[in-house]
């Protein structure tokens, strides 16, 4: 059964929210399909030098957005109920960053249910605007519908 929502966590800020499918238009998902964004590497049509690298696994996916080979954000989607290894992976990445630049907020807890998306922002990038969170949300729904819908 396709979920109606997923947990969307940004580890750097502590923000956690439910992200509903109704927040993403079918036209957005169709456009992402046309761009073939589920390939291991795809150019993004948002400006010069933006691309996404995507790795699929049986119980989840990892995607990273780059600008000119500089990673901007690392995203991990867990769809399988056995999600502990996915959380451990993203948690280690987050702690490796915060050991170098401590933060004042607590790491959100792993959600009690899947699917969830955990996001780690990699540095400060003032030109990201609001599009990045929207893109993450659209990418997750593309993955859920086109890759994981019949698996879990």
- Give domain limits for the chain: 5-148
Output the average pLDDT for the chain. Answer: 88
Give the bridge partners for 8, in sequence order: 17, 117
Residues 56-101: tens digit of each pLDDT: 999 999 999 999 998 999 999 999 999 999 999 998 888 887 666 5
Judged by average pLDDT, the poorest of 32-36, 77-81, 121-125, 129-133 is: 121-125
Question: What pLDDT does 15 receive?
Answer: 87
Alpha-carbon distance of 22 to 45, in angstroms, equals: 23
Alpha-carbon distance of 128 to 150, in angstroms, equals: 33
With a pLDDT cut of 90, the percent of the chain lying above it is 62
Rg (CA), the chain: 15
């Amino acid at each position: 059964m396709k979920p109606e929502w997923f947990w969307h966590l940004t580890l750097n800020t502590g923000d956690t929210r439910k992200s509903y499918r109704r927040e993403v238009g079918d036209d957005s998902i169709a456009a992402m399909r046309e761009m073939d964004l589920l390939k291991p590497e795809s150019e993004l049509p948002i400006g010069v030098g933006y691309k996404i690298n995507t790795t699929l696994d049986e119980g989840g996916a990892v995607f990273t957005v780059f600008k000119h080979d500089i990673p901007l954000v690392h995203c991990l989607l867990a769809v399988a109920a056995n999600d502990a290894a996915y959380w451990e992976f993203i948690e280690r990445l987050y702690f490796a960053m915060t050991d170098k630049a401590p933060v004042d907020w607590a790491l959100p807890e792993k959600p009690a249910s899947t699917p969830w998306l955990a996001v780690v922002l990699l540095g400060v990038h003032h030109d990201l605007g609001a599009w990045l969170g929207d893109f993450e949300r659209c990418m997750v729904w593309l993955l859920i519908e086109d890759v994981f819908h019949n698996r879990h």
